[in-house]
Structure formats: C-alpha cells, structure tokens
Amino acid sequence: MSRSYFVGAGLHTCLGQDVSSNIDALFGPPPGPVAVPVRAGPVDATASALLLKDRPLVDIENRLEPVLETVCAEALETAGLTAAERADTVLLLGSSSVDISRSEAIYQRELAAGLDAYPLVDNNNLGRMAERLRRRFGLGGPDYTVSTACTASANALVYGDALIRTGRARHALVVSSESFNVITALGFRSLNLVSRTGAMRPFDDARGGLIPGEGCGALVVSGARRNGAGAAPLAGSGFHLRGAANLCDIFGMSAANPDGSTVLDVIQKALHAADVAPGRISGIKTHGTASLLNDEAEAAGMARAFAVVPPLCALKPFIGHTFGACGLNELILFCGLMERGFFPAVPGVCARPGDLGVSLFQTPQAMDPGVFMLNYFGFGGNNTSLVIANVDD
C-alpha cells in the first residue's frame, strides 16, 4: 500500500509559536481566554477568545501573513525539502475565514478616514493567501484552498494525501489558518454556541459551548519517510494517513444528527478506507466542541461504532475552536505528543463519565505506537474522519 508520511510540521496557537512549545503546554492545564472588544455597527460587545501567543490584535491588515510564513518555514525546514523538491510540492490551504480579518480591518480604516466604506469590498479571496505562500517558498506545484467549515484543513490533508498516492505530486505542504474576526465572533455568539463560563468542557455535564481560537499550522507530507532536521518534531515519527472519509449530514446547518447515525457512518467508512477493524483503534481524538447537540451526536456515534470505545481525548480546551484550522492544528498536537509517547489529557474535564458516558484522562497517559482516529464534524454537515498510524503493519 502506498503511503504519504508526515515529515515536518510548524504550529502557532495560543500555546506557543512552534511545535515543541505547543506540545510542552499539553502537559499543563488549558489556558484561559482573553476578552476581545468587538464592534460592528450598533453592536459594542466583548468576546472570549484564545489568541495567537505573543501576537496582539494590532495592525490586523499585516498580522496574519508573517505567522503563516513562519509556520510554513518551520515545516519545510524540519522536513528538509531541497529547492528541487519544493519545485515538485503542491500547496493545500484549509481555512474557514481565510483573510476576512484583513478585509474587516481595511473597512474599519476606510470608515475612520471618512471615505465611502463598504464592508468586504476588498473581499477575502479564497486563492490569494495560498498563492502568496506558494510563491514565497518556491513551491512549483499548484495551490488549492479548501473551505468546508471545521473540516477544511482535515480535508486539505486528505486531498494532499490523494495527490501523492496517485503520483500527481511527490510532496504536499498542507496549511491551516484561522484568525479572530468579527463575523465569526458575532455569528457564533448569536447562535448561543459560545461558552459563558470561560472554559470549554467537551462531553462534560457542565459543557456550555465553545471558545473561538486562533491558530496556524503547516504539515509537509511526502511519499517516503525522511529523517528531517535532526530530532525536530514529526520529522521522523513515521506517522501517516492510513485512510479517511468525508460525508455530509443534512440533519441541520449547525449540528449533526444527535442519534449519532451520520457520525457512525463516517467512522465506518474511514475504517473501511484504512482497512482497519474497529478494535484496532488505540485512541480517538474527538471533535469535542462542548456544544450540546454536537457532543451528543459524537458520543452516540462512537458508542454505536465501537463495541468498547477506545480512550478519548479532546484538544479544543487547550487552543479553542480554531474552526477550519482545527483539522491540522489538532493533528499536529496529537502526533507531536504521541511522538513523545503520551496520549493527551484534559485536566478538570470529564474526570468521571457524565450523562454522555464519556470520561477523559486527567494526566497524559503513556501509550505505545498504534493506529488512531481523529474526528471533525463541521457546520453545514461536513464530517471528516481520519485514521492515522505510526506503525507500518
């Protein structure tokens, strides 16, 4: 079976500005959010968010691009791609908001200057950000942008893997991006999906919604294992995508079917694509948004898919919900911690099974290499399940 390996990564979230510092933070408690002023027309409010570490919300028009360039550079350098190899590398960007924050900042600047200002006239271009990155790093392959809500960067990885497996590319740089913006903050607030307690508690009896998070990640995927740059995270871990599935749930715009049927369907199809029996899964990274219907659907789907549900983890309490970027951001966090031999924990959340029957580890647990599942269930009913492994059998 042909495989594409994860051979280099970069990551910037609220936890840190590189992969190692992000992984280090998973051994402590989740951070608390900050209050961000949100102004739009007559609305003058605050929103809780987990922002990029050491990147205050200033100079918004130019804030995101340097972060993206840094994480891409980290991924390419740890993978050790030569200039010739970069010329045969395809770029895939997954994001919900792309550069809406920049468009909002331009509108606010023009409005303050007394000009005829119209929101999003300088519209976010779904191809502009990816094209800039491709040119910046001399990537000779095509570039693609995927925007499928919370599954965007997970789907970007699936497409990159397919390009490599079918011989259409030798290497892929998969990128995730999500930055704080007014449209997202007020949109989720209006749907009563934002936590009012200042914490995300997925599957817990005290769950009450999500906290928006910022994050940018990059992952180099290649058709062969590489040693990478020394002992850099993921450079030689052997992690690869065994199989995946993407399905749409028409139950509702903002929630999966709470009976778990569509979650079950995408899990079963991913296991089939990976040629892996349910009992082979050593652990699951849940989507875990801490919203009522989604947590119910996910818990029900897992209970139906597995005779004995494997150990579970949730990573959004640490970095917030990074929406379209969560697919890649959470994969890098998961793989990076597993590379150190530990399965993630969430201190203070689901120490004991509650009404959904889910419990989470309170301290990181030692775990051997194996086969794992990572799940993402997004707005619009777009659901993706990944099966990854760091064993070759």
SS3 386: strand
Indicate the burial class of 37 (C-beta count within 10 angstroms; 0-12, 13-18, 19 or more).
exposed
Percentage above 90 pLDDT, the chain: 77
Tens-place pLDDT, residues 170-185: 999 999 999 999 999 9
User: Does one domain contain both 187 and 123?
Assistant: yes
User: Does one domain contain both 330 and 374?
Assistant: yes
Domain assignment of residue 234, yes or no = no
Residue (of 236, 17, 229, 10) closest to 133 by Cα position: 10
User: Does one domain contain both 318 and 362?
Assistant: yes
Domain assignment of residue 230, yes or no = no
Better-predicted residue by pLDDT, 87 or 252: 87
User: Does one domain contain both 154 and 34?
Assistant: yes
Indicate the burial class of 359 (C-beta count within 10 angstroms; 0-12, 13-18, 19 or more).
middle
User: Does one domain contain both 217 and 246?
Assistant: no
Better-predicted residue by pLDDT, 326 or 117: 326
Domain assignment of residue 227, yes or no = no
Tens-place pLDDT, residues 25-50: 999 999 999 999 988 777 788 999 99
- Domain that includes residue 95, residue range: 5-222
User: Does one domain contain both 107 and 208?
Assistant: yes
Domain assignment of residue 291, yes or no = yes
Instruction: Write out the two tokens for 98.
Output: 């792309």
**Bridge-partner residues for 388, per DSSP?**
241, 372
User: Does one domain contain both 156 and 270?
Assistant: no
Domain assignment of residue 80, yes or no = yes
User: Does one domain contain both 166 and 84?
Assistant: yes
The domain boundary, picked from 222, 256, 291, lies at 222
Q: Which residues contact 31 (CB under 8 A, 6 or more apart)?
A: 14, 15, 25, 50, 318
Tens-place pLDDT, residues 337-366: 999 999 999 999 999 999 999 999 999 999
Q: CB-hemisphere CA count at 13 Å for 263?
A: 29
- Tell me how many domains the chain contains: 2
Q: At 208, which CATH number?
A: 3.40.47.10
Domain assignment of residue 336, yes or no = yes
Tokens 């994001």: give the residue.
95
User: Does one domain contain both 321 and 372?
Assistant: yes
Residue (of 328, 348, 356) closest to 91 by Cα position: 328
pTM of this prediction? 0.96
